[in-house]
């Protein structure tokens, strides 16, 4: 009987993993040349510019915290944003450490972020359109629970 329970638990865990991996594949998160909503940039770039557009200028360490990335990864990401002309690093007058920089989107970066945010909203709307409207609340509640659980693992 113990062997049967162990096998059932293993099958359930495998099934859960397959569902998560299937969602990641279906949504297109693994593409490196475009976002799941079809924008021609990496997912991390899209999230960074959207975060800066919706939250406003922020310290690099705060952007790293928001994105769940290391500060060195965000430093390289901001380097790329600067090279594209989408963001600038500026001294923060509130900081005593003069090495600390605040990341700000340029006008071009704000335009790009606006396009990404619109494409993201359209993609999520189309995704929800494929689900019975009576289950939308259930889906959103489940996503909230998954996000909380994932944040606990960080």
Query: Looking at residues 44-61, what average pLDDT do you find?
Result: 95
**Residue 108 in domain:** yes
Local structure of 132: helix, strand or coil? coil
What is the spatial order of strands in the sheet that 101-105 belongs to?
Answer: 58-59, 101-105, 87-91
- What is the span of the domain harbouring residue 145? 27-153
DSSP output for 28-97:
TTT-SSS-TT--SS-HHHHHHHHHHHHH-SEEHHHHHHHHT--HHHHHHHHHHHHHHTSEEEEE-TT-SS
Domain-located, residue 48: yes
Q: Is residue 10 part of a domain?
A: no
pTM: 0.78
103 in a structural domain = yes
User: How many domains, in total, are found in the chain?
Assistant: 1
117 belongs to a structural domain: yes
CATH code assigned at 98: 1.10.10.10
What is the separation of C-alpha 79 from the centre of its chain, rounded to a whole number of angstroms? 18
How far is residue 92's CA from residue 72's CA, in Å, rounded to a whole number?
Answer: 19
Closest CA to 44 of 80, 82, 87: 80
| Chain segment 20-33, per-residue pLDDT in tens | 888 888 877 777 77
Q: What is the pLDDT of residues 57-101, one digit of tens each?
A: 999 999 999 999 999 999 999 999 999 999 999 987 777 777 788
- Residue 124 in 3-state DSSP? helix
Q: Report which of residues 10 and 57 the model is more confident about.
A: 57
**9 in any annotated domain:** no
Q: What is the pLDDT of residue 150?
A: 84
């Amino acid at each position: 009987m113990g062997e049967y329970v162990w096998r059932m638990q293993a099958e359930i865990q495998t099934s859960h993993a397959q569902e998560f991996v299937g969602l990641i594949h279906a949504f297109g998160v693994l593409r490196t040349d475009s976002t799941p909503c079809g924008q021609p940039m990496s997912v991390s770039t899209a999230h960074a510019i959207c975060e800066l557009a919706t939250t406003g200028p922020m310290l690099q360490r705060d952007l790293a915290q928001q994105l769940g990335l290391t500060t060195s990864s965000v430093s390289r990401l901001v380097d790329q944003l600067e090279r594209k002309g989408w963001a600038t690093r500026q001294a923060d007058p509130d900081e005593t450490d003069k090495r600390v920089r605040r990341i700000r989107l340029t006008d071009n970066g704000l335009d790009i972020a606006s396009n990404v945010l619109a494409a993201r909203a359209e993609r999520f709307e189309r995704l929800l359109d494929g689900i019975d409207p009576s289950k939308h609340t259930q889906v959103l509640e489940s996503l909230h629970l998954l996000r909380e659980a994932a944040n606990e693992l960080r």
